[in-house]
């Protein structure tokens, strides 16, 4: 069963393991104990009965090799480059 999460956080536990968890409504902070999910990719997480201590907050995605960004002023930059 895939999980619907509300406030997903990726973090390193106090033991150094990387986990996903459900942040409380006020957000997760280092030292908080939060409910964790099993899995390594946000779309494939499963509920867990475990909790873990947040040691470090991490980027939500483990790897982002390519990031595309197109600004609203893209046409203007093309004109400048000519």
**Is the pLDDT assigned to residue 82 strictly greater than 80?**
no
User: Cα(45)–Cα(35) distance, rounded to whole angstroms?
Assistant: 12
> How many domains does the chain fold into?
1
Place of tokens 């960004």: 69
Burial class (CB in 10 A: 0-12, 13-18, 19+), 49: exposed
* Domain range enclosing 7: 1-61
Average pLDDT over residues 32-44: 87
pLDDT of 18: 94
Residue 66 lies in a domain: no
Q: With bands split at pLDDT 50, 70 and 90, how would you rate the model's confidence at 72?
A: low
Residue 38 lies in a domain: yes
pLDDT of 32: 93
């Amino acid at each position: 069963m895939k999980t619907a999460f509300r406030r997903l956080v990726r973090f390193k536990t106090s033991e150094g393991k990387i986990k996903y968890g459900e942040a409380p409504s006020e957000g997760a902070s280092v030292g908080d104990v939060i409910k964790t999910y099993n899995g390594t990719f946000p779309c494939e997480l499963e509920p867990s009965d475990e909790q873990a201590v947040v040691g470090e907050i991490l980027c939500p995605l483990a790897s982002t090799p390519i990031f595309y960004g197109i600004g609203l002023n893209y046409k203007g930059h093309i004109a400048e480059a000519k």
